[in-house]
Amino acid sequence: MIRPVLGIRDEEFLRGDIPMTKQEIRILLLAKAAIQSGDIIIDIGAGTGSISVEAARQSGVGEVYAIEREAEGIELIRRNREKFSVANLREIEGAAPGAMTDLPEADVIFIGGSGGNLPAILKRADELLKPGGRLVLSAVTLETVAMGTAFFREQSSRYQSEAFSVQVTRLKPIKTIHMFQALNPIYIMTGIKNS
């Protein structure tokens, strides 16, 4: 089987009750992150590690730090790291922003889950992000979109930002017919930090 450059099939990841970013959304997030070989990447609210694993594959000699507050998520990240043989992925158990204290400056920061601490996480992410770095925020709630919008509006002189919404609908076979089944809509906000 030929493995795609981006977008490992969802079924290939080990999963539990922890949310996972779906393949089509992962492809968009990774494209917006524009990961280069050697990049330092932080994945906040890493869940099962699907973004972290793909980012680690793209960054090559770079490092990926996957922050997750749920013990089950940390175990899934570890197991997925081993399954996909990505030695440059480090799991960090804890809630952000507290778990972000000893991290290096980053080229890319993903925020997929905030545990209700998004303003403080965005502040710390801004401190860690290198000039020219990319901040990629995915949101499923209106509140997260509002907080992300407020952050990028307040930092408009420091970031080139954009946002969009995407709705993925997958074909699902049901006996002898096929039906489209919608996934939750996702809002993606990105910012490139000015040099």
Q: For the segment 165-178, what is each residue's pLDDT rounded down to a tens digit?
A: 999 999 999 999 99
Task: For residue 1, tell me if it sits in a domain.
Answer: no
* 2, pLDDT greater than 80: no
pLDDT of residue 121: 98
pLDDT of residue 3: 52
Domain coverage including residue 141:
10-193
The rounded distance, in Å, linking the Cα atoms of 78 and 68 is 11
* 114, pLDDT greater than 60: yes
Dihedral of CA atoms 2, 3, 6, 9 in degrees, nearest 10, equals 110
Task: For residue 38, tell me if it sits in a domain.
Answer: yes
> Cβ(158)–Cβ(193) under 8 Å?
yes
Task: For residue 2, tell me if it sits in a domain.
Answer: no
The rounded distance, in Å, linking the Cα atoms of 111 and 152 is 14
The rounded distance, in Å, linking the Cα atoms of 41 and 128 is 10
The DSSP letter of residue 150 is: H
| Average confidence score pLDDT of the chain | 94
| 177-192 mean pLDDT | 95
* 1, pLDDT greater than 50: no
Task: Give the residue, 116 or 106, on which the prediction is more confident.
Answer: 106
Question: Residue 103 belongs to a domain with what CATH number?
Answer: 3.40.50.150
> Cβ(98)–Cβ(127) under 8 Å?
no
| 24-31 mean pLDDT | 96
13-27 burial, b at 16+ Cβ within 10 Å, e below that, comes to bbbeebbbbbbbbbb
pLDDT of residue 136: 98
Task: For residue 160, tell me if it sits in a domain.
Answer: yes
Task: For residue 4, tell me if it sits in a domain.
Answer: no
Task: For residue 167, tell me if it sits in a domain.
Answer: yes
Amino acid letter, residue 154: E
Q: How far apart are the first and last CA of the chain?
A: 41
Q: How many CA atoms lie within 13 A of 161 on its CB side?
A: 20
pLDDT of residue 50: 97
Task: For residue 5, tell me if it sits in a domain.
Answer: no
Count of the separate structural domains present in the chain: 1
pLDDT of residue 115: 86
pLDDT for 38-82, tens place per residue?
A: 999 999 999 999 999 999 999 999 999 999 999 999 999 999 999
